[in-house]
Amino acid sequence: MIEKLLKLIALAFLILVCTGLLLGQKPSDSGIGTGDSDSYKHARILSKPDPEFPREASTEYRITIKLQATFSRDGKVTNIEFLRADPDTPKEILKSFKRSSIAAAKRIKFIPATRDGRPVSRSMLLEYNFEPRKKEDQPATKTPEAEVSKPKNQRSQA
């Protein structure tokens, strides 16, 4: 009984593969499709700037912000929407991470996707990872001693 079932499954698979080939579908060389075809090419990202770590956020936050945006045919990132944050973050803190991620997304440089050689708009998912700051990455603060050690004519007007 199992042997007949396996033969039937193998036959069904063979029919599906042959039908696809008859309809003009080409199997990919690697076995994994790239999504590109002769008539469609994906957008190519040239640069994806990192977002700034929000100043008002505590340095111990580790958070991932997920956005959806349109990579438009004229080379601009538009229609940027916040999808979610992992892990859940308090709303007050989340606002600054969202703002920073959206600002970074707007600075992405890319070559638009094309269909039949013409630029087309394409919806894309974006992910920004925020890691805790290291001590050397944190902005330096002025100490009173450093201020006092400067000659009087070079002291800043605070």
Instruction: For residue range 5-64, list pLDDT tens digits in order.
Output: 555 565 555 465 444 433 444 443 333 444 555 699 999 999 999 999 888 777 777 899
SS3 (DSSP) at 77: strand
Q: What's the structural domain count of the chain?
A: 1
Q: Indicate the pTM of the whole model.
A: 0.61
List the one residue out of 133, 117, 120, 115 whose CA is nearest residue 50: 133
In a domain? residue 128: yes
How does residue 80 score in pLDDT terms, banded at 50, 70 and 90? very high
CATH number at 58 reads 3.30.2420.10
Residues spanned by the domain of 104? 43-134
Q: Considering the chain, what is the average pLDDT of its residues? A: 75
Identify whether the C-beta of residue 57 lies closer than 8 Å to the C-beta of residue 63.
no
Reported as a single tens digit per residue, the pLDDT across 93-152 is 899 999 999 999 999 999 999 999 999 999 999 999 998 766 555 554 444 444 444 444
Intra-chain end-to-end CA distance of the chain, in Å: 89
- Tokens for 51? 């977002």
